[in-house]
């Protein structure tokens, strides 16, 4: 079968490989859709710890073709929660499974979804309905991560929320904030993404923090950083209301330093939180995708074939692109 492998940092290829054989506890799915995420580009560039000779793809769904010893029926559509916690380390035993020191992520540490078939642990499969658009299953993983961030941020009805970054994570975050009853502003530079955000329920859009403050001079009760660059983390306190909260979802390259003024955070008692991965949120994400509560169709910029995945990962996303989805 065809699969896109990270051979090594800087070397990614779509190659012929053996069809995966399920190990004990695994199922095998025929992949229907797999999203190309910024993390895949970080892995390619060596900005993220990676594993040589591994099939990438951690945002995917497919049809069960081998149910192993699980109770799943052949033909069931499932989404894969890529993060397989050990359950035994100190953090897992405290319930902080996303901090598991032995986490094995499908599509990073073991072969993933940029392939015709993928084997992964049966207990990491979440069922999706048969009549769902097959492409939508690829959004369960980013939505699960966004739900965790929004749980931490705890947007409340009537509050003001600024979401920074009009990529997939930001465009999902505005929808979750809106569903919570908040008034929402999307801060992103690209005009098309601003318009997309507003069509997906953002009340306002801004290109800069200054523009955001012109509309909301006191800032927002909650700022959700979904861009993952130094400038956006740095600007977050300046657009947060006194007594407000910030949640950083964006991933900055390891070693990046950001200058923050603790005096300001202390005097205005601004809580700065971080959100990592998807602890126990994948099932909720699957349900939201299944019942259409979040709108993911406009987030699909293009469909590509497996043969194009390596090239797309090795190239920066074009301005305005939200998600390219590989359809094996
Ligand atoms: P993305 O597609 O790169 O979107 C980020 C957006 O930020 C870009 O579209 C860009 O849009 C905007 N941006 C960049 N610089 C900006 C600036 N100076 N001011 C305002 N907006 C700016 O990424 P994504 O897939 O949505 O992911 C977002 C971040 O979350 C990434 O860092 C990703 O690694 C991270 N992530 C974290 C988790 C987690 O568990 N914490 C999970 C998944 C992803 P414009 O060009 O319009 O500005």
**What DSSP string describes 76-106?**
-EEEE--EE--S-SHHHHTT-GGG-TT-EEB
- Residue identified by tokens 């405290």 is 94
Task: Give the residue among 190, 227, 219, 213 at the shortest CA–CA distance from 321.
Answer: 190
Least confident of 36-50, 56-70, 130-144, 282-296: 36-50
Mean pLDDT of 265-274: 98
Residue 135 has pLDDT above 90, yes or no: yes
Please give the distance, rounded to the nearest whole angstrom, from the Cα atom of residue 98 to the centre of ligand 1. 20
Pocket test for ligand 1, best of 226, 282, 315 (most atoms within 8 A of CB): 226
Mean pLDDT of 158-183: 98
Please give the distance, rounded to the nearest whole angstrom, from the Cα atom of residue 38 to the centre of ligand 1. 8
Nearest ligand 1 atom to the CA of 148 is: 40
Token pair for residue 293?
């509560």
Half-sphere exposure of 137 (CA within 13 A, CB side): 30
Q: Whose CA is nearest to atom 48 of ligand 1?
A: 189
pLDDT score, position 34: 98
Mean pLDDT of 28-40: 96
Residue 318 has pLDDT above 90, yes or no: no
pLDDT score, position 254: 83
DSSP SS3 for 180: coil
pLDDT score, position 193: 96
Token pair for residue 22?
């399920």
Q: What superfamily in CATH does domain 2-127+296-326 come from? A: Medium-chain alcohol dehydrogenases, catalytic domain (3.90.180.10)
Nearest ligand 1 atom to the CA of 252 is: 32
Least confident of 41-55, 79-93, 152-166, 256-270: 41-55
Mean pLDDT of 184-193: 97
Q: pLDDT-based confidence at 319, cuts 50/70/90? A: confident
Mean pLDDT score across all residues of the chain: 97
Distances (CA, A) of 229 to 4, 6, 35, 174: 28, 25, 21, 19
Q: Whose CA is nearest to atom 9 of ligand 1?
A: 167
Q: Give me the DSSP letters along 5-66.
A: EEEETTEEEEEE-PPPPP-TTEEEEEEEEEE--HHHHHHHHTSS---TTEE---SEEEEEEE
Residue 127 has pLDDT above 90, yes or no: yes
Q: pLDDT-based confidence at 320, cuts 50/70/90? A: confident
Mean pLDDT of 307-320: 92
Q: How far apart are CA 44 and CA 283, in angstroms?
A: 29
Percent of the chain with pLDDT over 90: 96
Residue 264 has pLDDT above 90, yes or no: yes
Please give the distance, rounded to the nearest whole angstrom, from the Cα atom of residue 169 to the centre of ligand 1. 7
Nearest ligand 1 atom to the CA of 142 is: 43
pLDDT score, position 48: 86
Mean pLDDT of 79-90: 98
Residue 247 has pLDDT above 90, yes or no: yes
Q: How far apart are CA 1 and CA 3, in angstroms?
A: 7
Q: pLDDT-based confidence at 155, cuts 50/70/90? A: very high
Parse the chain into domains and list their residue ranges.
2-127+296-326, 144-274
Q: Whose CA is nearest to atom 1 of ligand 1?
A: 167
Q: pLDDT-based confidence at 253, cuts 50/70/90? A: confident
Nearest ligand 1 atom to the CA of 228 is: 32
Residue 76 has pLDDT above 90, yes or no: yes
Residues framing ligand 1 (Cβ under 6 A): 37-39, 142, 145, 164-170, 187-190, 193, 226-229, 231-232, 249-251, 275-277
Residue 313 has pLDDT above 90, yes or no: yes
Q: Whose CA is nearest to atom 35 of ligand 1?
A: 250
Q: pLDDT-based confidence at 151, cuts 50/70/90? A: very high
CATH code matching the domain that covers 144-274, chosen among 3.30.1370.10, 3.30.390.30, 3.40.30.10, 3.40.50.720? 3.40.50.720
Please give the distance, rounded to the nearest whole angstrom, from the Cα atom of residue 76 to the centre of ligand 1. 33
Percent of the chain with pLDDT over 70: 100
């Amino acid at each position: 079968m065809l699969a896109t492998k990270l051979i090594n940092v800087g070397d990614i290829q779509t190659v012929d490989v053996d069809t995966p054989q399920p190990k004990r506890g695994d199922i095998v799915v025929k992949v229907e859709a797999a999203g190309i995420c910024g993390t895949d580009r970080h892995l390619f560039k060596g900005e993220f710890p990676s594993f040589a000779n591994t099939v990438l793809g951690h945002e995917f769904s497919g049809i069960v073709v081998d149910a192993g010893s699980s109770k799943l029926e052949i033909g069931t559509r499932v989404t894969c929660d890529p993060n397989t916690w050990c359950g035994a380390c100190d953090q897992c035993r405290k319930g902080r499974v996303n901090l598991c020191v032995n986490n094995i992520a499908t599509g990073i540490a073991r072969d993933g979804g940029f392939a015709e078939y993928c084997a992964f642990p049966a207990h990491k499969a979440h069922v999706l309905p048969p009549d769902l658009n097959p492409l939508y299953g690829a959004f369960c993983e980013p939505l699960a991560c966004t739900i965790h961030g929004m749980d931490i941020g705890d947007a409340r009805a009537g509050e003001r929320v600024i979401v920074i970054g009009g990529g997939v994570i930001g465009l999902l975050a505005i929808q979750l904030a809106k569903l919570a009853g908040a008034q929402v502003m999307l801060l992103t530079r690209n005009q098309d993404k601003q318009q997309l955000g507003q069509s997906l329920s953002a009340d306002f859009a801004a290109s800069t923090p200054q523009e955001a403050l012109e509309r909301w001079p006191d800032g927002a009760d909650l700022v959700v950083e979904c861009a993952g660059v130094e400038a956006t983390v740095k600007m977050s306190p300046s657009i947060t209301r006194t007594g407000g909260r910030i949640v950083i979802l964006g991933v900055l390259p390891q070693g990046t330093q950001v200058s923050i003024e603790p005096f300001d955070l202390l005097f205005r008692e601004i809580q700065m939180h971080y959100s990592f991965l998807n602890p126990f949120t994948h099932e909720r994400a699957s349900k939201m995708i299944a019942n259409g509560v979040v709108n993911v169709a406009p987030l699909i910029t293009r469909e590509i074939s497996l043969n194009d995945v390596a090239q797309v990962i090795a190239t920066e996303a074009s301005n305005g692109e939200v998600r390219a989805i590989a359809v094996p």
